[in-house]
Each structure stands twice: as C-alpha cells, then as structure tokens.
Amino acid sequence: MEEKMVNIKINGKDLTVPAGISILEAARYAGIEIPTLCFLREINEIGACRMCMVEVKGARSLVTACVYPVNEGMEIFTNTEKVRKSRKHTLELILSTHNKNCLTCLRSGNCELQALCKEFGVKDADYYKGRMPEFEFDDSAAHMIRDNSKCILCRRCVAACQMQEVSVIGANARGFDTHISSAFDKDLANVSCISCGQCIVNCPTGAIVEKDDSEKVFAAINDPTKFVIAQTAPSIRVTLGEAFGMHIGTNVQGKMVAALRRLGFDKVFDTDFAADLTIVEEAHELIERVTNGGVLPMITSCSPGWIKYCEHYYPDQLDHLSTCKSPQQMFGATIKTWYADKMNIDPKDIVVVGIMPCTAKKFETQREDQAASGYPDVDIAITTRELARMIESAGLFFPKLPDEEFDNPLGESTGAAVIFGATGGVMEAALRTAVETISGEELKELDFKEVRGTKNIKEASYNVKGLEIKVCAASGTANAKKIMDEVRAGTSPYTFIEIMACPGGCVNGGGQPVQSAVVRNFYDLKALRGATLYEADKNMPKRKSHESEAIKMVYDEYFKEPGSPRAHQVLHTSYVARPKYK
C-alpha cells in the first residue's frame, strides 16, 4: 500500500512528507533539528518539557512539535522570535530549581540541558529566585547514583523503567514538590531494580549516573603489590569510539588495547575468550538437559540484569536458567585459578577489572557464589563511559593511538564470541557448537540469520539429526516477560532461549556512551553497533567457540572437559529468589 503524503511548509520552504508524522519528524526532512528534553521516540512521547514549541499558522498558541501531527497545507515556523523567547524562558524556569554545579557533574560537556542553555544564551537564572527544593542523595544501589537536585522532571527515566516492565521509579508528590523516586521514597537498593541502567543512558542531565569506580582502578594500577588485569567485553570495541567523536559502530579494538596498556594495566585480555568458554560449557549443559531429561527450555545466563529480573519476578522459574557464570565472571574465575597457578601468582594479589557495557555488572561482582578461588572472581567492573573518562584524564588522544593486539593466551577468541554483544549473538554462537556436537558433522553454513537483527523477539526451529530444536532470542525485560509467562504456564515450545536485559543486547547496554535524544530518535544505535560485530565475526579466522586453541589449552591443562567437576566448581554458579517489591 502506497504511503500517503502531505504538502507542508516549514520556514517558508515547501516540503512533502508522510501524513501523520510529527512536526519534529517533518523538520528532519528539512534538515532542521527542533530541540527537546523529554521526547524519546516510542518511549517517552508526552510533550512535557515544552522545549520543542513551534508556531503553526492559524493556531492560537505555540504547539509541541514532538506530538503534533502534520496535515495537508500546514505552515510551520521553527525559529521565530516568539519561539526562541519561549524556549529560553523554559530553560530559565528549569534552571531556577536546578543544581548548577556543572563543573563537578559527570555529565558536564555531555548534558542536553547544558548544551541548550549555551545554544539559547541562557547565562543566569537568578531572575527566578525562590525556594529551592531539597532532595536526599541516593547512592544505595550497587550500580548508580540518583541526584534529584539535577532532575528536570522530563520522565525519560520513568518511561525507560516502564519499557523494561520494572517500573520501580515514578513521579511522587505534586506541584513544586514533584520528584522522581521509588514508592514511598524508598532507597533504590530496597526495591526490585534490576540494575540495567536504561534510565541512565536515557537521562538528559546528571540526575542519574553510574557509580564511578575509576579511582579504584587507578589505585590498583598504582599499587606495586597488585597484578592488574583488564578484560574487555565484546561490545566495547564498537562503542568506545563514540565517546571520542568517532562514527557510531566504529571498531576501535586496537586503539582500546593500546589505551589500556598506557593506563598501566599489567595484562590486557579479551572477555571474548570467556565468551567462547561460556559457549562450550553452555552447549554441553544444553545437550545434557536435552538427552537426560533436564529442565527445558534452558535459558541463557550471560546478562546479569536479566538474571536479577528473573530472581525478582520469576523466582519459581530459576531452574530454567543455565548455571553457567557470565563471561565476565568466568574470565575472572579462570584468571584466579588456572592462570594464577600457571603464572605462580597468589590470587589475592590479582585485581581483575571488567570493562563492560552494563551497569548490572557492578552488581554482579558482589553476588554470592562468584568467588571460585576464595576471592571475588572480578574485583571491579567499570562501564564504557568510565573507561572513556580514564583515557581522557590520562591525557591520551584516543583517535591517534596505534592499533595493538591483546595479550595472549587469553586474548584469543573466535567470531562466535564477538557477536555476544548483539541480541541473538549468544544463541547463534551456542548453535554453532551445539549443532556440530549433536550431529557430529561440520557445519557448512555458520550464519543463523533467523536469530539476527534488532527485532524484540526472534524465533527459529532447526532439525538436527532428527532432533527438533526450537529456539527464541528476546531482548528487553518487557519482552522477556512475554516469554517467561509462557514458560511459567507450561506452554513454551522452545528448547533454548536467549534473553538480554537491554533492548538490542549489550550494544545498547546501560553502561554505553550516552547519546543525545537527537541521535537516539533518528539513528538505530542497536543496528549500527551490532552490524560491526557481525562484520568482525565474518572476518575472523575461526568462528566456532570450540575451535579456539586457547579454549582447548585451558581444558587440556585444567578443566579437562566441559561439565567436569572442576569446571562446575569454577565456571558455574547458583541463583537466589528475591522478593518482588516496588
């Protein structure tokens, strides 16, 4: 069916655009960016901040461009004196109750409010002097800090939490006292937050930020008694460059390694090694369950936000979770057991730093049953953003760094590990190993395209030696809920399910570089970042986890075989039912 088009004018210029789209979207066709502070496409379309006001000929007053649809013959003006005065006035009102300690704010230089104030020449909000609301600082959670003195009530965080079907934050009180908080103003640590961090990457200001652990990392690096190891998650290589102005999805693996060496890490390894290790263990576990009548469907356990969601909201279904630790934790456990023995280093003197796309990884390091050596598998988890700030503070000019290789042997990996960062990637990697193991035949086609892409829920069925394997990959816990309701009801048709807490997977994790609403509304970050991971996989010399020479060596020397008693002791974990409360 042919799309209906309408003719409009924007700032005196004729334009033909699809009928029914918003003025905000239509303006993009004309190369005009209308400012917003609350609008996020398909997430927060409430027209609340009033920054996007424009003039429409014949309308009695200014209208909100983000939710006002175009129609035939409409004449729009986006930059008149009346419009600019309205936007500046709105900013002054916001600043009248805003904490303006910008120099010490983590978002300084990457704050949408700050950028708009500069654009519209807002210099001082003292004209609107009056009572400043007072809020308690909440740093109770393991992964983030909430500072309502910097909140502008845009409700993006609320919408992001609702999108995840978690909804532990919302607007409390009324009028001047309105603020974003949990029910009864409980600390975030005392509600069913899953630590996914989607509220952080969608916040336009510094009201919600990750807990910055970079000083802990610097302290470890500068301690001569510590052997400090960095491990980098698969998706970091295609997102870190954005923090330095590089194109979305640029693969900066070599520069990332060079930067980490210059920061002073003793070894720079790749979490991809442990992603391969996870696949070998997970594929073995799946085959064991299928052949020996184990609990099915089996569900992946790589996403700590998803694990926490399941513990809070589906505690009766925990037996479906794979007992495999996540790649971050498997890596740390392997370092502090096999590697420590091999290098004759006391595990108490090893500091493992995970560089992750995920704020939930901070929570994961503190979980019980994650200390195979008697010491925490991973000591510190930092986000892509924290690493970027460390690089900047060290005076490193990232775009000009040379490309360097990971240290070996734990820098070796396969293409199967690289795609872990995209939704469906864990599923595809596991299928490459499981199908070959079950069939006893070499796969001729390694691309399981049915589970690729950014669709919320992807399904496929494969016949392997007469055994039908039905699989599903879901991202975003709202979509996980749909799948888990079927599992709970006993109607799920699947053998194997991959779930990632963040929509689109790790490439869209809560610890990734913050992009403004302009970028989020008009570019598909998930697709752009994920495409680079699949391109990297395609060009890898080995693309199946069980073919990694490093993996073979570690099993030969230490674990012996997948699912062995030692592998279970070091590489597997347990889960705990948590109360559901908001």
In a domain, 457, yes or no: yes
89 and 102 in a single domain? The answer is no
Residue 129: what pLDDT?
Answer: 78
- 133 pLDDT band, cuts 50/70/90, is confident
In a domain, 41, yes or no: yes
CATH number reported for the structural domain that contains residue 21 in this entry:
3.10.20.740
33 and 150 in a single domain? The answer is no
Query: What is the token pair recorded at 436?
Result: 């070959």
- Cα angle 542, 547, 550 (rounded to 5 degrees) comes to 95
Residue 582: what pLDDT?
Answer: 55
156 and 33 in a single domain? The answer is no
Pure H helices in 507-575: 517-522, 525-538, 549-554, 565-571
In a domain, 353, yes or no: yes
Q: Among residues 93, 128, 160, which one ends one of the domains?
A: 93
pLDDT score of 68 more than 60: yes
pLDDT score of 577 more than 80: yes
In a domain, 232, yes or no: yes
- 125 pLDDT band, cuts 50/70/90, is low
287 and 417 in a single domain? The answer is yes
Containing 146, the helix (H) or strand (E) segment is strand 144-146
Query: Does the CA dihedral 82-87-90-96 come out positive or negative?
Result: negative
In a domain, 581, yes or no: no
Model confidence over 326-348: pLDDT tens digits? 999 999 999 999 999 999 999 99
Residue 38: what pLDDT?
Answer: 97
187 and 237 in a single domain? The answer is no
Q: How many domains are contained in the chain? A: 3
Mean pLDDT, rounded, for 25-38 = 96
In a domain, 279, yes or no: yes
Residue with tokens 């005009």: 32
Query: From CA 370, how far away is CA 574, in angstroms rounded?
Result: 9
CATH number reported for the structural domain that contains residue 167 in this entry:
3.30.70.20
536 and 421 in a single domain? The answer is yes
CATH number reported for the structural domain that contains residue 516 in this entry:
3.40.950.10
Q: Picking from 27-31, 52-56, 108-112, 124-128, which range would have the lowest pLDDT averaged per residue?
A: 124-128
Residue with tokens 């308690």: 136
109 φψ region: left (φ > 0), alpha (ψ -120 to 50), beta (else): left
Q: Among residues 78, 93, 108, which one ends one of the domains?
A: 93
pLDDT score of 1 more than 70: no
Q: Among residues 76, 93, 110, which one ends one of the domains?
A: 93
In a domain, 275, yes or no: yes
Mean pLDDT, rounded, for 561-572 = 98
Model confidence over 285-332: pLDDT tens digits? 999 999 999 999 999 999 999 999 999 999 999 999 999 999 999 999
Query: From CA 565, how far away is CA 375, in angstroms rounded?
Result: 19
Range of the domain at 459: 227-571
First to last CA, the chain: 45
139 and 73 in a single domain? The answer is no
564 and 452 in a single domain? The answer is yes
In a domain, 216, yes or no: no
Strand partners, 268: 230
- 132 pLDDT band, cuts 50/70/90, is confident
41 and 105 in a single domain? The answer is no
336 and 421 in a single domain? The answer is yes
Long-range contacts of 574-579 (CB under 8 A, 24+ apart): 574/323, 574/369, 575/307, 575/310, 575/311, 575/318, 575/321, 576/311, 576/368, 577/311, 577/315, 577/316, 577/318, 578/192, 578/308, 578/311, 578/312, 578/315, 579/192, 579/312
Backbone torsions φ then ψ of 53, nearest 5 degrees: -60, 135
143 and 268 in a single domain? The answer is no
360 and 409 in a single domain? The answer is yes
